[in-house]
Every structure is written in C-alpha cells, then in structure tokens.
Chain A
Amino acid sequence: MGLLAGKRVFSIMALCMMVSLLLLPIVVALPSLAIGEEAPAGDAAKKDGDKVEKGRDVYYKTEGIVVGAPAPKTVDGPRDYPRYNFESRVLLWFANQQHLYYGSFVLAVPIFCMIIEFMGVVTKDKALAKRYDQLAYDFIKISLTAYSLTAILGGILIFTFLTLYPAFFSYLSGIFRPVMHIYALMFVAESGTLYIYYYGWDKMKEGFLKWIHLSMSVILNIIGTLLMFLANSWIGFMMSPAGVDEQGRYLGNIWHVIHTALWNPLNLHRILGNMAFGGGVVAAYAAYKFLASKTEEDRAHYDWMGYIAMALGVAFLIPLPFAGYWLMREVYAYRQQMGITLMGGLLAWLFIIQATMIGILFLSTNYYLWQAMGRMRGAEKYQRYIKYLVFILACGYMVFITPHTMVMTPAELKAMGGQQHPVLGNYGVMSAKNGGINVIITTTVLSFVWYMRGNKVSTVSWAKFGNIFMGIFFACAYFNIIFLAVYGYYIPANVRVGLSVPQVATTLSCLFFMFALNSVMMKGAKQLGPIEWGKISARSQYALIMLATAFTWMMGLMGYIRSSVRLFWHVNEIMRDNSPWAYTHTVGFAANMISFNVLFFWITILFVFWLGSLGAKKVPVESKAGIPGGVPQPAASH
C-alpha cells in the first residue's frame, strides 16, 4: 500500500514537473519578450527623442516603431554566400529534408502512442488492452532513437545555415530571436517529457497511475505540436512575411511575425501530413517485420500492427487534401501570382507528379484492404466485385493525373492541332480533377466498409433495408460527384470554385454516415469466422511499403514545391536571394534529389529499426513476464 502511495506521489510529481517544464519557456520568455520589444525602442527614443522612426507592416498594414535592421542586400561572394565547390542550396535542401523527415516522424509517433494507449485503457477486453499497450510501447521505442537523430539533424541544419547562408540566417534569427529561444527551451521540455514517459512506462501501468501516464502523453504531444508551430512560423514568414516593413525592418510585434498569412494553414496541413507519414513509416516497419518473421505469432502480431498503423495513417490522409485545399486558397488570397506559379505556371508540372503520388497512395490503400479481406472467412462474396472498384478507381485516377499542358513532340502538337486536346484537355482542369479525387476517396471509403463487414452478417431487423440504403447512398454520392464535376464546365469560374465544397461534403458524408450506419448494423452481427491475423498475402505487405515510400516521396516533393514557390527570394518580396542558385531547378533534377532524400531516409530509418531490434534481444524475457498468457493473441479471436 505504501509502495503504491509512493508511486502515486512520484507520478504526480512527475506530471507536475512536466507541466512546469511546459510553462518554463513561457516564463523565461516573458522578460526576453519585453526586452525584445521595448528596450531597443527605449534606446532609440533616448538618442533621438523626436526621431522615432515608424514603419508600416507589409501584411497587417499597422504602424509600428522600427526596431530591427533592414533585410541585408546580399551580394554573391564569400561574405554572404560562403561555399564549398558545390551548390550550397542542395546541401541545405538535404539537411533540411532529413531533419523534417525525422522531425515529423517523432512528432507523429507520440500522437499514435497516445491514441493507442488510450484505446488500451478504455478497452474492456483485458487481452486486447494488453496488446494495445504493448503496441504503443513498441511505437515509442522506435521513436526514441529517431528522436536523438532528429536533434542531431537539427544541429547539422543549423550549422549548414550558419556556414553557408550567414547573412540570411542572421537576419532571420534577428527577427525570431525570442521565438528561437522558446523553441530551444521547448525542445528541452519535450526531451524531458519523452524520457519520463518512456522510462516510466512499466512503473505506471496500473489504475490511476496509468491515467497519469496517459496524460503525460497528452502533454508530450502538446509540447511537440507547439514546437512544430514555432518552426512553421519561420517558413510561414519566409513565404508570406508580416510584422516587418517593406525594407524588412522588424516592427516590434512578435505575434505578427509568427502569425503570418500562411501560418495556420501550414500548421494544420503539417499536423495531418505528419500523422499520415508516421502511420506510413510504422506500417512499413510492421510490413518489414512481417516479411522477416519466422513464426505464426510474429506474423499475426505484425500483420495487426501494420493494419492499425495503416488505418491511422489513412484516417489522416483523407482530410489531408482538404487541408491542402485550404492552404492553396490562402496562398491565392495572399498573392494571386504565387498561386498561379504553383498551380498553373512554373511549378504546375510538380503538381501532376503530386497527383500521381496521391493516386498511388489511395490505390495502395485499396489494394491492401482487398488483400486484407483474405484473412476473413466470408469476405469472398465481395471479391468478385473488386474488379468494378478497380475500374472506377482507375478512371478516377486517370482523370486526376491528366496534365493540363501535355508533354509532346512538335509533330504530335501539329497532329493534335493545338496545345489542348479536345477530349483530354477537359480532364486537365480543376473541375474534373476534383471529381476524380473525390471518386477515388469515396471508393476507398467503400472498400473500408466492405472490409469492416467482411466476415459479418448483420442481424438487425432492418438489415435488408440498411444494405439497400447503403448501396443507393453510395450510388447517389458517385452520381453527385460526377454531376458536379461536369456541371462545373457550364458555369462561370467564380461559381465553379464553390462547387468543390459540396463535392467534398458528399465524400465526407459517405465517410461519416456510412461508417456510422455500418457500425450500427454490425453491432452484434453474426460472425462467419474469426479474423485470422497473419493470414494475409505478402503482396499486401509490399503495398504497405509502397504506401510508406509514396508518402515519403510526396512529402519531399511538396516541401520542395512550397519552398521553391518563393522563386528568387529568401524572404518573399523582402530579402532577395543573390546567390548564383536563385533559379528554379529542372523537374528532373528536383525529382532525382527527392528520390535521393527518400532513399537516404529509408536507409537510415532501417538502421533505426535495426537498433530497436538490437535492444529487443533482451526484452522478450521481460515482456513475456509482463504479459500474462505469453504472446498476445490476435484481437478478434477473443
């Protein structure tokens, strides 16, 4: 009893410590904020009482007292752009991308941990709860090594900035001085929380202590998310500066500098993207372990792990295009030029590649789900209809990737009689593409519904009506999406852009209503047979690896697009890039570079996985002792 009370006191103390760690940066930052804002202004006022220089915020249009130095006008040379015999920008690109891959991975995994641990706590099934708990622990174990790698890569990134772009970095850090310090302190808080969370796992696994442990994961994630928001404020500032005047002089309002036009859309987009990416990486890890495992139990465990990770990843993948759409809208609202450069101009080709990748993501997801039906008895009834789903998906996909401006030889151009193809040219515009992607997502929802009812037969009294209703609802949804896509051609552009909202709403209606209806219908349903975890084809696991690779590649691509839309600016319209590398790379070079980054990331993450398995060599004794009944049994077999 005394021991338990001691543990309780210990855990409450730990929690309090974390909360105070969370608050620490803010407390520390308060004076620095005050200094940052007032002291220089005070100095200026002392020197020249009546000559306080005022500036106008480029974005918020408010007046402010000039505090900072103007953005340096750099010249190409060893002072502003010291270099090796190599393109500095590419080095920076590499360092940045690797840091981001690891950063988003270690931000995403604790969120998964939190969700899975929570599921474990609320599940009534004891064996299942244990399995969830073990899974969450496995997840955090992977992320621990990745965490230190993230920090190392962050260091490398800063050194790269300092040594290769000193003028730019000193300008940026001049403006973001307090933010950067808060960032560093948050990082300390994050580390502290993470280690307590990880090492306290076994000590706090019962009853009240478990809840404390769970709330630690919440705090951990809050810190992580805030960290990312702060980092986002820098790129947001570089894309859509605010809080400075036209010469780039800081006007003393740090909130304006952080809260730029694109900050919030970027935040949302990055959270969702990280989650999808994290899910993909963990799923790939599970797939790799599945393919390498030698026993049935291992296969069952990693099959299940891969499934959960995939489901979580896809759950965040589905809203991702909509967050992207919001970001695009804000980009257009901020600078129409920037939007056109992205979507219709210089970078439009990259969006075709992006569309291809998005399609691959959804196709692999569907493929995985169809394969996964193989582990249930009774799902055979759906398998003969899969070919029609393939057809619908392929049609949606082809429309979605049709480029607006086609690559063609001059001879083909003449044969076609113009830049635009009279049939396919129509697929190249937004209206058709929205239709295409919504058809793909709706089909994915349908696959999920089929998967969820694969081995079950509904026993509710209105089952027949329910089935017919679901069929008709899906049919009408498809019809509505396609109708809206076609309708878009007949109405003016300003009305047309609005059509995407009902289109998206249709897809989301399918998602929510059909999932809800399905779970109501399947409550207490008759099971035709258990889900036999581990009885899945190897092809499905390759689909998971494909999914993860596509995620990684796409993340690299989108990051490149977001960054290169600034064209020849370090800070858009404030600080010009005068290095010899202020041009936009060719599509081919960018693609090779992204592929290199992806390859490098996967090689290093394999190393991280391997490290994890090294540690696991000792663990089995412990974990087997910790879990009554030995190796966890597959979830649905109970």
Chain B
Amino acid sequence: MKALMSLGALIGVAGLLLLGGMVFDVVPSTTIRLVEGYMPIQMLLEVACYVIGFTGLSYMMNAMGMAIPRFWQGIGFWVFFLLYLKYRMYPPIPFSVRAMYGTVSLVAVFMWVSASEEDWQKFKQPIMNVLDAQTGGNRLLRYLYLVLLPILIGGFSFNAMMPKSEEPIELRTVHPAPPASTKVHGKTYTLQTSQNPYRVNPEGKYDQEFSNANIVEQGMGRLMKPNANPWDDKNQGYLKYVREGGEIFFQNCHFCHGDNLNGRGLHAFAFNPIPANFTDPGTIAQLQETFIFWRVSKGGIGLPNEGFPWASVMPPWEQHLTVDEIWKVVLFEYWHTGYYPRTWD
C-alpha cells in the first residue's frame, strides 16, 4: 500500500512540476504531445493520473505528519484544474468552455468536501475561524475581507458596465437544417433520397460498401489503402472519379480549404471564421453527402435564415461548376479525409 502510494505521490509531484513549468512558460505545453485521434481520452486519462498523484501525495504528507488541511486541498484542486485547462490544453480553449468546466469542477469540489459531515466540518473550520476572529491574525483577515470584498464587487460591476470594443460573440449555426430539396442547374434534388452518382463500383452500380473500403485510412496519419491509389491510370469507377474530383478540388477549393482539407489554405486566414475543416469529425463526417452537395452548390449566399449571420464567403459553386463536377469534388473530400458520409438507414 505504502509503495503504491509513494508511486502515486511521485506521479503527483512530477505532474505538478510539469504543469508549473507550463504555467511559467519554461516547458512548452507540447512537451507531452497530444496524439491525434486519441486526444480526448488522453486528456481524461491525464486528469485521472493527476488525481491518483494527488491521492498519493496527500497520503504521503499525512504519513509524514504534514497533512494538508481539507480546505486547502479543495481550493488547491480547483486551482489546479483551472491551470490545467488554461496552460496544458493546446490550442487554447475558449473562455466560455473554460468557464463551464470551471463551474462544474467547483461544484464537484464542493460535493467532495461536503459529502460527509466530518469532512464538511473540517472544510468549514478555516472559514469559521476567520468569521469568529478569535486570534489576531484572523481578526486582521476579517477586516481585510471587509475592505477587499466591496472593492472586488465594485471592480466586477465596473468591468461589467464599462463599454467594450470587442467584437460581439456570435452563436453561429454551422450546419443549419437544409431544405427538403434543392434545384441545381434546373434539376431538383431531394436531399433525403439523392445519391452521389459517382459512388459506384467498377460495374457502375451505386455501392457504398465498395467506396467505403477504398477510402484513406483514418487514425495515425492518413494513408492510402494498398491497391486503392486514384492516380493509378488503370482505375475505373469510384477511384477514377475520386481523381477527377481531386483535380477539381485543387483547381478551385484548396486555396481556402487547404491542401490537407483542414481549412487552412493559402487564403484561409483572411477570412473570419476560417473555412471549414473537413478532417474534423464534426463537419462532413456527420453530414449526408447531399448536404455537402447543397452547401457547395449554393454557397454562403444560399444559407437559410437560421444560418444567420451567414458568416460564409463561399461562392455558390453552381455558377462555376457543373453538377457532375460538384458530385466528384464531394466524393474526393470524403475519400481524402477517410470519412463516410452519413446515411440514415
């Protein structure tokens, strides 16, 4: 037990040092890399490691007779978590989300310290001591709070009232509900039932299984499947159309959406927001192919009312490309990112 706990303590100390280094910018936050594809679970595991570390640490301190009071344990853990979110996570997390996490962790800390009556007494003790002000130090603290708290509240109010020149926050609906059907080059497509005419097997029949088997490998890096190279001239059907789609993509789309399809093309950062990142699991991976077809054809100008504030500069590509070309580009995008279009059956 003791050995286990000291190991935990060791993890705790190492973790704290690392985080401290990141806070003071001695250690870059990319020291321990977040591995693509495993990042979400990695983050949870890291926090779990810290918790184990803290358990060990608190056990060891206790054994050495230097127990940390419950009050400071609670506050300390909360501060740790805020620092972790701010300095460990990269790219930086928006304030709104950090505020949410901060609130949740504060509630969690409260639940922890007040779960049993005994713990709650221990936690309250320092606060009660200050309020009772039996000793000189506590009396001083109490007076200090008497002065500081109003100033703090005043500061908050001042901050809230002061006019700001920041751009307003937008609650943008990235994927607004599509219309039931869309008319492109004179033909009407029902979004729920239309299919990509180029998602075909070598025999020329619509075949999603076949195309899914030939897309780029997901996960660590994006690798082509063996025998599924679209730039091989012998290919017929699906892979041939992927190549044609790729050509169209690099002639028209990659300036903004990037040669890696991650929304970081040459011109990407001239726009706000930057163009859609297709490699993200939240974009094309969770949409139907026909949704992409509709968005590409109609562009930012064709967004419905709920797409307010229509923050998209994508041109309506139906004015530049034929229907076939649009379908092929869509095909290429799915192939290259290694995602399957969403289906409803």
Question: Which A residues have a C-beta under 8 Å from some C-beta of B?
Answer: 332, 336-338, 340-341, 344-346, 348-349, 359, 363, 366-367, 370-371, 373-374, 380, 383, 386-388, 390-391, 393-395, 397-399, 401-429, 432, 482, 486, 489-490, 492-494, 537, 539, 584, 587
Contact = CB atoms under 8 A, between A and B. Distances in A.
A421 B112 CA distance: 30
Given A393-B108, A420-B277, A341 B91 contact: no
Interface stretch (B97-105, B195-203, B233-241, B313-321): B97-105
Given A402-B97, A405-B174, A493-B343, A383 B115 contact: yes
B3 interface: no
B188 interface: no
B178 A340 contact: yes
A414 B116 contact: no
Given A363-B111, A370-B115, A419-B273, A407 B94 contact: yes
A337 B343 CA distance: 14
Given A420-B283, A492-B212, A410 B167 contact: yes
B117 interface: yes
Nearest to B44: A395
Contacts of A422: 34, 36, 39, 91, 280
For chain A, what secondary structure do more than half of its interface residues adopt (helix, strand, loop), or is it mixed?
helix
Contact of B282 (A370, A409, A428): A428
For chain B, what secondary structure do more than half of its interface residues adopt (helix, strand, loop), or is it mixed?
loop
Contacts, number: 202
A413 B272 contact: yes
Interface string B272-316: 111011001111011000000000000000000010000000000
A406 B277 CA distance: 15
A492 B209 CA distance: 11
Contact of B104 (A380, A398, A423, A486): A398
Contacts of A366: 111
Contacts of A348: 173
B177 to A, nearest CB: 4
B342 A494 contact: yes
B115 A390 contact: yes
Given A370-B115, A412-B95, A420-B277, A432 B344 contact: no
Interface in B147-196: 166-167, 169-180, 191-192
Contact of A374 (B116, B173, B276): B116
A409 B166 contact: yes
A415 B92 contact: yes
Nearest to A410: B167
A133 B91 CA distance: 60
B178 A417 contact: no
Nearest to B81: A394
A168 B134 CA distance: 70
B136 interface: no
A492 B175 contact: no
A387 B112 contact: yes
A340 B288 CA distance: 11
Contacts of B269: 414
B263 interface: yes
A409 B108 contact: no
Interface of B: 34, 36-37, 39-41, 43-44, 47-48, 51, 89, 91-97, 100-101, 104-105, 107-108, 111-112, 114-117, 119-120, 166-167, 169-180, 191-192, 212, 218-219, 262-264, 269, 272-274, 276-277, 280-283, 285-286, 306, 339-345
A427 to B, nearest CB: 6
Contacts of B167: 409-411
A313 B345 CA distance: 35
B306 A386 contact: no
Contacts of A391: 48, 51, 108
B91 A416 contact: yes
A420 B175 CA distance: 13
Given A345-B176, A408-B96, A424-B93, 11 more contacts: A373-B116, A387-B112, A388-B51, A393-B111, A401-B104, A407-B97, A409-B95, A417-B274, A418-B277, A420-B277, A423-B89
Of residues B116, B172, B178, B283, which shows the largest number of chain A Cβ atoms within 10 Å of its Cβ?
Answer: B116
Nearest to A380: B116
Contacts of A432: 40
A410 B39 contact: no
A405 B179 CA distance: 21
Of residues B177, B191, B269, B285, which shows the largest number of chain A Cβ atoms within 10 Å of its Cβ?
Answer: B177
Contacts of A404: 282
A429 B107 CA distance: 24
Contacts of A394: 104-105, 107-108
Given A418-B280, A493-B286, A337 B180 contact: yes
Contacts of A412: 92, 94-95
Nearest to B275: A418
B306 A346 contact: yes
B169 to A, nearest CB: 6
A412 B91 CA distance: 10
Given A345-B176, A405-B172, A422-B91, A427 B112 contact: no
A383 B345 contact: no
Contacts of B340: 492-494
B281 A537 contact: no
B177 A340 contact: yes
Contacts of B175: 340, 344-345
Contacts of A341: 177, 306
Of residues B40, B44, B89, which shows the largest number of chain A Cβ atoms within 10 Å of its Cβ?
Answer: B40
